[in-house]
Amino acid sequence: MEMHIVSKRKDLTLDQALQAPDGLAVHGATMGLGRTHPTSALTSKTNAWKKLTSYLSKIHKVGTTVKVTDDISIDDLLGDVNRHEYYRYSGSLTTPLCSEAVVWTIFKESINVDLNLMKMFPNQTGYFNVYRPTQPRHTRTILTTAGSVRGRSGSVASTPRHLLWFLLLVRSIGVYFI
């Protein structure tokens, strides 16, 4: 399972952002299994996930909107994920219209989540195997903090770490799970 944190540029409307090649920023992280039965006091990270998953029962179909009234920290959801190790590339949204308007940042480390909490996503929403097939890389350059990956064009690049912190500070944030 993956978590996507979607941010829109503050200087653009949503319609404008969907037309700009850098109108949206998505931070993605895969989710791995942590403890299945926590026995010690809950950490703030576990509490953040419990707050977030408490809204799942209100999602009954694709397109359902749920107002999140709890304060949920993205830092607590990400936990101890190393924010200095990531891949970055220009791409598209994973849902229709699949607009080519996204600067993707994918963390190399997974978020460790309690198995019971992770099971709540498909069990409470009824969504199973919801994903977009892997897309061709074409001439996209994939940037990384630990070396570089060549696109078919042969270009090579590296990414300054300060850009990640700039993207983390963007205020218009939504959380989507696929």
Structure confidence at residue 105 (pLDDT): 96
**Cα 4 from Cα 16, distance rounded (Å):** 21
pTM of the model: 0.71
Structure confidence at residue 103 (pLDDT): 97
Give yes or no for residue 156 having a pLDDT over 80. Answer: no
Q: Scan for tokens 């959801």, then name that residue.
A: 77
**Cα 105 from Cα 143, distance rounded (Å):** 9
On average, the pLDDT of the chain sits at: 76
Structure confidence at residue 41 (pLDDT): 35
Amino acid at 167: L
